[in-house]
Structures are given as structure tokens and as C-alpha cells.
Amino acid sequence: MPLTAAHLQERLETLTSECGVPGASLAVWGEGELLEAAAGVCNLETRVPATSDTLFQIGSITKLFTATLVMQLVEEGKLDLDLPVRTVLPEFRVKDEAVAAGVTLRQLLSHTSGITGDFFKDAGRGEDRVARFVSMMAGLEQVHAPGEMFSYCNTGFVAAGRMIEVANGTTWDKAIRTRISKLLDTPAFSTLPEQAMRYQTAIGHLGAPGALMVTPIAYLAASNGPAGATPMAKARDIVTFARMMMNEGVAPNGKQVLSAESVHAMHLRNVACPKGMNIDAIGLATFMWDWDGDGHYEVFGHDGSTIGQAAWLRYHPESETALCLLTNGGNGKAMADALIREVFAEAAGIAPPELPTPDASLVLDAARYAGRYANSMEAIEVTAEGGKLVATVTPSPDYAVMSGGPKRTVLEAVNTELFLGVAPGMTLPQSWHFIGDEGGRARWLHLGVRAHRRV
């Protein structure tokens, strides 16, 4: 695929239609040039066209910005990755007192704290909302022991956001504006709805492609901002951030945002993911990939998902190639997969490996897998039906508006740990990992980078 704006525009329009995505914005930095494309609409009800200047919710890509603030404050000696959180937040509490006393900032940023990660209670809109949310974490239980493994943890990043506020003496929102957005010259980057409304914005859509509806809730709770609940940006703004990360912390305008040492620390593996997962490793907030299989991580980025919106960032420092795709509903995952493969194959000569192939010859002990697994967000019932495993995912009441009702997925075994399954309404499989041992049965089911404990 030639990297031209015209071709990217054509591909984006085609994929928007094929994947049932209402609207999308794409920015690519490759071969020393910024290319942009946009397609579809901001809102299926208003039919306002999406453009490259439209702001979409970036979801958990925000975690890279929160980690960047942390590293700036580490450079200044105001935070320390390996000291307990209570060094900065003496009031910090979770249900397990030993965890509350000993968990570190590094464990929060690398998703290894084991603290329940999906907790979206609204702590209000005041400037103390992040502090109030952290106080609400006192009852959160452990998914696993700190450092035992990893499980995606939004709450850890809200706690990190509060540590930023204390160390910096400002709100997290102001820290983002003054310490990152201003240096990058990305004034449209917004962490609050009242900032975003200065620009054209996209709304999320729920449901399956072909039967989408505008989400009744525009944003997740503002108190979860440091984890990604509210920020909105143009795709080019996120690519500008990636260019800074590919240039040893120096923004395209020449301003130093991070030291080269801090960038390296964010790109250094803290935990490896189970083989076959959609990410290979996690640094400090950063997702990491070894696409060419040489044992080194050469591609970095993050994904983001909010209510009806999804986002993807990938960057390859060696070729100085970066891609950001922002969408507002439908099968954005299929669109992202296609564009990431095409763009990086052309600009960087590298692409994600193909998915593994299920092994129909495997003889499995269904008793190892069958049972009920759960976390705060959902419960998964795994049963054996007709010689195959079937997983039924039922969201907990607080998350039903985000994911709809129960969904059944047939699982195909790649090996005794890894299974693939295509969720209803999607076209690409997810990885399902049954890991650990508890009396001959799997102890955890890892789905969507989240650990679900056998219950």
C-alpha cells in the first residue's frame, strides 16, 4: 500500500463501510511526512461528517500521558517508582492492608499490583474528584498478589494520577495541559468535556455493526480521568506524542518533554504477557510487541476503549513510523488490524505476526477449564458442549450499558493454555488464556488483558 494521503483516505472509507464503523480519524507519520484521513460521521443522529480535526475519546492511550507525567516528576526527584505508594499518599487504602502498605508506583504503572482494576464509581466533578476516588478504593480486593502476574488495572492509574497531583501541587488535568500538551503544541487535547466542546467532537455508538445507537452516556466518570475516562484528542495529537517518544523525549517543535532515560524506562519490560496474547509485554504503561520474533521489543503503543469509542496507537522507533486510529463504534478492531498491517508493512517493512492456528487434534480435559471465573466487571461461565469449550460472558450490572447482555463464544484450542474465540458481532478472534493450577483446574482465565479468578 503506497503511503499517500489519497490512498489512506480511500482505505479508511472502504474499511469504515466494511467494518460498520460510524466514523474514524487516522493519522500516520511515516517517511518523514504526516498523512491524515477521516471518514464517516461524528454522530449517526446528527450526521455531521468526521474530519481530521474531530476530537475522539482516546481511552486508555491516556495511560501513556499519565506515565509521562510520573516520569517527569521522577526526574525532578518528586516521585520514586520503587517506593510504596503511601510514601506520597499516607491515606492510601485497599482491602488488603499489606498490599496498601507495600504496593509501589511501578506496580501501579505496570498492572502488576493485583488490585481490582475495573471500578468506575463516580466521585463527582469537583477538583478533588481524583482524591475522593482514591479514598473509595479502600474496599477493593485483590485479583492476585502484587508481582505474582499482571491484570489490567485502571484503578492503579487513578491512584498514580493522585500521586501526580500531590507531587506537582496541581490537579491532574492541569498537569496534563501544562507539562505535556503545552510542550507538544497540541492545545485541542482535552481532559474535560468543557474543554472538548470548543471543537468538533465524536460521540460513541453501542451495539453490533448495522444496528448501532448513540450511547446514552457520553463519558465515563471524570474521576477516572488519569486512567482514560475523559480525554479527547485529534489523531495527529497522539501521533505528535508518539514522535516525541521516538525522538528520545524531544517533541517535533524541539521542546524536551522527557529525558532519553525516562523514555527508555517506559519502553523497558516490567512484565511479559502469556504467549499468544494481543500484547507481548508491558513497560511503564507502555504496551510492547516483538513483531519479528527476534526477542527484542521494537513496536510500542497502547489501545483505548470507552463507551462506544475505541482507539489504537502503534509506533516503531527504528523506522520512525507511528499510527493512530480513532473510532466511535462498530468493529473498529478489524479496521485497526488491517490498517496497522498495511501501514507498517509499507513504511517500516514489519507487520504483526499472523494469529496462531487452532490444533484440532488436541485432546483436552474439559474439567481443567470448565467452571465460573469472575472479576468486578464480568463473570465468565465456561462449559463443555459437543466436544468444544463455550464461554458465556455476563457483565456485572454496573457495566451492562458498556457491553450489553450475555455473549456466547466458542473457543478453539491452540494449545492447552491458549484458546481463540470470536465474540458476537466481531470478525477477529480474541485470545483466551487458562493459566495457573488449582487442584488440577485452571486458576485464572485471562481475557482482554484482565485476569478472571476461578470462583
Name the residue among 191, 123, 83, 106 with its Cα closest to residue 157: 106
Catalytic-role residue among 60, 110, 151, 305: 60
Three-state DSSP state, 362: coil
Place of cell 483466551: 432
Distance (Å, whole) CA 404 – CA 392: 13
Gyration radius of the chain over CA positions:
21
Distance (Å, whole) CA 429 – CA 432: 9
Contact residues for 197 (Cβ-Cβ < 8 A; gap 6+): none
Distance (Å, whole) CA 332 – CA 289: 20
Integer angstrom CA distances of residue 407 from 283, 332, 386, 390, 403: 32, 18, 18, 10, 9
Distance (Å, whole) CA 341 – CA 318: 17
Task: Report CA dihedral (34, 35, 39, 41) to the nearest 10 degrees.
Answer: 10
Distance (Å, whole) CA 152 – CA 348: 29
Distance (Å, whole) CA 153 – CA 227: 9
Per the CB < 8 A criterion, the answer to whether 291 and 298 are in contact is yes
Place of cell 516521585: 79
Alpha carbon 19 to its chain's center: 20
Q: Provide DSSP, 181-196.
A: IHHHT-TT-BSSHHHH
Please confirm, yes or no, whether 60 is among the known catalytic residues.
yes
Q: Kindly report the number of other CB atoms within 10 A of residue 121's CB atom.
A: 12
The catalytic residue positions are 60
